[in-house]
Each structure stands twice: as structure tokens, then as C-alpha cells.
Amino acid sequence: MVTDTMEETEFAELTEQHRRELRVHCYRFLGSLDEAEDLVQETFLRAWRGRAGYAGRASVRAWLYKIATNACLDFLERAPRVVPVVDLPTASGSRLAPRPAAAVPWLQPAPDDVLEAAISRETVELAFLAAVQYLSPRQRAVLILRDVVGWSAKETATALSTTPASVSSSLQRARAELKEQLPSRRTEWRVSSSSEEREVVSRYIAALTTADDAAIAAVISEDIRCSHQPGAGGHEGPEPTWYSGRETVLEGWAPVLHGSRSMELRMLPVQANGGPAVATYLRVEGEFRAFGLNALRVVEGRVAEVTTFAPTVFGAFGLAAVLPAER
């Protein structure tokens, strides 16, 4: 029980057990792991300052979720942001989203060990996190509290200082908008087993590091979709790049793999957002330097989507910025 006479150490012991799930909650809300960590700290600070107002009518967990949600709303009110309008074509007959996750410039991947508190894999997938960013902050709060955290309309209304009727109306609009932003056939994706994913990633890494076009073609889907955030994979433009289709991908990767200035790659498998990912390094002047983190989606034994993030995210995965060349 939280009381206004609690010692700081006692308070920390009571609240710290909820840190991991609160970080996931804020991460879903904001799409940024760095900002999520800052908002968890803000949540604990607000909780400490407001402990005298905790009446014990709700669990400590619910009390902290309420504080965290409102901290996220206040953050977005202070620094509003809108996903830039990027006119990206959609591959004909593709099962993929109209916009790639890379179109959300502040979106960051998260290592799986950070997401252990997640209720389900689909609520931390990059496609879901990116789609949530298109919702207004209020709709985002309602959707996450109702459909992810599992609160009732009454509980959500209390947390947001509104009415159950208003919550229900916002939830209806949020679900409709989310449906527009998510891949139309996402529910039909067959999630590969961990062992199958590891086997596909192993073949993917081997194909790219040996620059074997036939092997690359065999491990990627015919309608593969690739996208890069600005600053990722050598892309320095103000907008994300996007391309799809096996032939387009092979043609686009050819200068790196086979051109006059072809580059030697080193690739390390990691786990991000409930799925496989690969940290890519390029050999430069006798050492391998971080180039980009590639989040992969594996469907039916092939890589169906590659989303590349800038090497600034390597630290969150415990990855070095530079690897020594093997002698």
C-alpha cells in the first residue's frame, strides 16, 4: 500500500517491479524506446510526488498505468508530432501495409528482452507500433488501455478523466483508423516458428555475405518489401526509401554486392519486436563499422519484409559500433 509517509526506498521497492511493463506501455504509445524510458522515469517521479493522493481504490499497477498514460499524453501535447505524408506506391496484390514502418521517423526497434512484459507479439510488432502512431494521442490512449491493457470503458474513462460513452466513441474511431494503417491481410500471416525463423535468417545471412544472387532470390519472397529510415543503410535523404519485388531488390543490392566498390559485410542475428533481425556491419579501412539494423518478417519460410534502421539503435541491443576485422 502506498502512503504519504512511505520512505523513498520502500516506495521504490513497491513500484520498481512494474518498470518493465510500464516501459513497454510507453513504448507502444510513443514508438520510441528512448522516450519510453524517459517517460517511465517521469511516471515514477509523478507517483512519488502524488503518493498522498493515492487512495488505494485501485491496485498500484493500475495507478501507475494511469500516471504513465497521462505522462505520455502530456509529452505529446508539449511536443506534438505528425507522421509526414510520404507518397509511397503499393505493390500490386501485395499483402503488405500501404506505408512501411520506416515512414515513422521516430520509430525505434526494441530488443526482445526489453519486451518480456508484452501481452502478445502482435502488439509489439513494428507494423502495429507504426500504425498506432497515426492515431491522435487521445485515440491512442483509449486503444491501448482498452484493447491491449484490457481495461473496461469505465476504468479507461476514470484514467482519462472522461466518460465511458466518450471512451467507446474514441475506441470505435481508433479501431477504424488502425485498420486503415495495418496490412489488410495481417491476420492471415502465418507466424513462423522460432526454429524456422532461425534457419531462414541463417540462409539470409549466408546469401548476403557471400553475395550469392541465387541464394538471395531463394530466401526472399517474390513480393518482398524493403524500406529504410533516413540515416539507415547509407540513406541520408529526408524521407524514407521504399521498394518492393524480388527483381527490384536484387537490382538495388547489386552495387553493394557486386559493383566496382562492392563491400564486405558482417551480419549478426538478433531479436527485435518479437521477430528476427540482423545487425549489419560494413568493412571500412580494416574494421567493420555499424551500417544498419534490419528487422525481418519471415512468412512461409522466406523473408517477406526488411525494415532498416540507423546504427544509432545498436546500443539498445548491446551491439558494438565497430567490430575488429578477423585476422
Rounded alpha-carbon distances, angstroms, from residue 315 to 34, 35, 110, 141, 309: 11, 15, 11, 29, 12
Considering only 52-56, 177-181, 302-306, which range has the smallest mean pLDDT? Answer: 52-56
Mean pLDDT of 190-199: 77
One-character DSSP codes across 37-102? HHHHHHHHHHHHHTGGG--SSS-HHHHHHHHHHHHHHHHHHHS------------TT--S-SS-GG
**In this predicted model, what pLDDT tens digit does every residue of 253-307 receive, in sequence order?**
888 888 656 678 999 999 999 999 999 999 888 899 999 999 999 999 999 999 9
Residue type, 178: L
Which residues lie below 8 Å from residue 105, measured CB to CB, with a gap of 6+? 84, 229, 230, 240
* Confidence tier at 14 by pLDDT (50, 70, 90): confident
Question: What average pLDDT does the chain have?
Answer: 88
* Confidence tier at 186 by pLDDT (50, 70, 90): low
Q: Which three cell numbers stand for residue 310?
A: 540507423
- Tell me, what DSSP letter sits at residue 147? I
Q: Which of 27, 31, 26, 15 is nearest to 64 (CA)?
A: 15
Separation between Cα atoms, residue 28 and residue 311, nearest integer Å: 21
Asked if 264 and 280 touch (Cβ cutoff 8 Å), the reply is no
Q: Exposed/middle/buried for 179, CB within 10 Å: 0-12, 13-18, 19+? A: exposed
Separation between Cα atoms, residue 239 and residue 256, nearest integer Å: 21
Asked if 278 and 314 touch (Cβ cutoff 8 Å), the reply is no
For residue 195, which phi and psi values (nearest 5 degrees)? Answer: -65, -40
Q: Any idea what the Cα angle at residue 271 is, between residues 270 and 273, rounded to 5°?
A: 145
> What's the start-to-end Cα distance of the chain, in Å?
59
Pairing of strands 322-324, 302-309: unpaired
The pLDDT value given to residue 12: 87
Percent of the chain whose predicted confidence (pLDDT) is above 90: 62
Separation between Cα atoms, residue 209 and residue 199, nearest integer Å: 16
Asked if 1 and 56 touch (Cβ cutoff 8 Å), the reply is yes
Separation between Cα atoms, residue 309 and residue 327, nearest integer Å: 29
Asked if 126 and 274 touch (Cβ cutoff 8 Å), the reply is no
* Confidence tier at 21 by pLDDT (50, 70, 90): very high
Q: Which three cell numbers stand for residue 133?
A: 502512431
Separation between Cα atoms, residue 154 and residue 29, nearest integer Å: 20
Considering only 1-5, 20-24, 180-184, 294-298, which range has the smallest mean pLDDT? Answer: 1-5
Domains in the chain with CATH codes: 8-187 (1.20.140.160), 190-324 (3.10.450.50)
Mean pLDDT of 134-145: 97
Asked if 105 and 230 touch (Cβ cutoff 8 Å), the reply is yes
Q: Which of 290, 271, 243, 3 is nearest to 113 (CA)?
A: 271
The pLDDT value given to residue 116: 79
Separation between Cα atoms, residue 220 and residue 307, nearest integer Å: 14
**In this predicted model, what pLDDT tens digit does every residue of 202-260 receive, in sequence order?**
999 999 999 999 999 999 999 999 999 877 766 666 678 888 899 999 998 888 888 65
Element (H, E) at 277: strand 275-284
The pLDDT value given to residue 93: 46
The pLDDT value given to residue 261: 64
* Confidence tier at 26 by pLDDT (50, 70, 90): very high
